Amino acid sequence: MKHLNLLNKAFLNFNQAAIKLKDSYEKLQAKVGELNLELEEKNRCLQASLKENEDIKNYLKSILESLPCGVIALDAEKNVLTFNRKAQSIIGIPAEEMKGSFCAILTSRLGIPVRDVESFLNAKTISNFEARIKKDYSTAYISLNITALENSKNDRNSVVVIQDITRLKRLEIQAQRNSKLIAIGKMAAKMAHEIRNPLGSIEIFASVLRKELSGESKKMADYICSAVKNLNHIVCNYLFFSRFPKARLKKMDIHKCLDDTINSIWFVKRDVKITKKYQASKHFINGDHELLKQASFNIILNSIQAIKTNGIITIETHNHFNEETWIEIKFIDNGEGISENDIDKIFDPFFTTKEKGTGLGLSIVHNIIDSHQGTIQVESTKGQGTAFSIMLPVFEE
């Protein structure tokens, strides 16, 4: 009997514990349900917040990509953090290479002097900088603006805004050039007329004297006639420059034009070898054969005059396919080269580093290429040679 009572008591205790456990489990289950609901609500809020942040991020990225200028974010060490497509396009290097030191990108890839880049990047306030770079086989101009970004972490990050100002710069250069050309052209025309009239009289009298004189006197008269012809050639150049003929554009083969030029320059080639490397498959342009022949002649003559011995002039053609198809004509020589101080002046009228010459040859070339909606660039290293590069639009049927 005693054992039965103990068993009943134990059974009652077990039932009470089971009831309490059941109550606790039900309460816990209810609490878990509440927590699950709360967690679901938190997750919904978090997802909504993440989506909102993603939407804002995409919106800001869309704004960044739609800007007409390039934008590059830099960290405190001036390494590239992020950039938009326009920045990559303006700088002109593949997107996967737009990383690491921005200073290295500007100096090693774009050829901007290290001193200029460091001065620009280390400015403590807003800094502006313009640079000339090589891009797509020609010279381009870019404008850079750097601004420090302020935040609570004092990260000293910065943002660089880049703009392609090539067209604006070329318009400025062309406007300055046109202003000079107008003034110089008027002066050249007046000088040519003033000189040409007495030149004619001198030549006539010298020719008469040649017939009547002999010995040393006749040699002096011959010298006068020769000098008059040289002076008359210079005057003709002045007149050509001041009354630049309008280009008569029609479909023409630039390769044939180059061949004609080479054939016509044999009398001044001396010991210079001219090599042709025509690689352009599309070589018909809308141009003036005679004017472009004159331009080619002047460039080749300029190269010949810059070569001392064992001269080699290579003429290359290539096509470039962008929004339009272009043909590049390149004249490469192994002459003396052009100094860095002179390279920006070589197309200026009357600028020359030679003892003899009018300084009009390359200026006339520039005018001819301009009249064909083309561009001309020059690269040169003193003592190593020079390369003239002409870009002309290909004739489209």
pLDDT of residue 152: 58
Integer Cα distance of 148 and 142 in angstroms:
20
pLDDT at 349: 78
Q: What's the mean pLDDT in 215-224?
A: 81
161: helix, strand or coil? strand
Q: CB within 8 A of 168, min separation 6: which ones?
A: 141
325 burial level (CB within 10 Å; 0-12, 13-18, 19+): middle
Residue 252 is predicted with a pLDDT of 95
Query: What pLDDT, on the 0 to 100 scale, is given for residue 172?
Result: 84
Q: Mean pLDDT check: name the lowest of 77-81, 112-116, 144-148, 316-320.
A: 112-116
Write b or e for each residue in 139-166: b if 16 or more Cβ atoms lie within 10 A of its Cβ, otherwise e: bbbbbbebeeeeeeeeeebbebbbbbbb
Confidence of residue 251 (pLDDT cuts 50, 70, 90): very high
Tell me the mean pLDDT in the region 57-83.
87
Q: Which 3 state secondary structure label does DSSP give 123?
A: coil
Q: Mean of the pLDDT values across residues 303-317?
A: 89
pLDDT at 11 over 80: no
Span of 43-47, 212-216, 345-349, 385-389 with lowest mean pLDDT: 212-216
pTM of this structure: 0.58
Q: Is the pLDDT of residue 177 over 80?
A: no
At 233 the pLDDT is 67
User: Is it the case that residue 112 has pLDDT exceeding 70?
Assistant: yes
User: Is the predicted pLDDT of residue 198 greater than 70, yes or no?
Assistant: yes
Pair 120, 144: CB distance under 8 Å: yes
Distance between CA 88 and CA 130 in Å, rounded? 17
Query: For 78, left (φ over 0), alpha (ψ -120 to 50), or beta?
Result: left
Mean pLDDT taken over the chain? 83
Q: Would you say residue 267 has pLDDT above 70?
A: no
**Which range is most confident: 105-114, 176-185, 349-358, 372-381?**
372-381
- Mean pLDDT within 348-361: 77
- 12-39: pLDDT as tens digits: 777 777 777 777 777 888 888 888 888 8
pLDDT (average), residues 63-70: 86
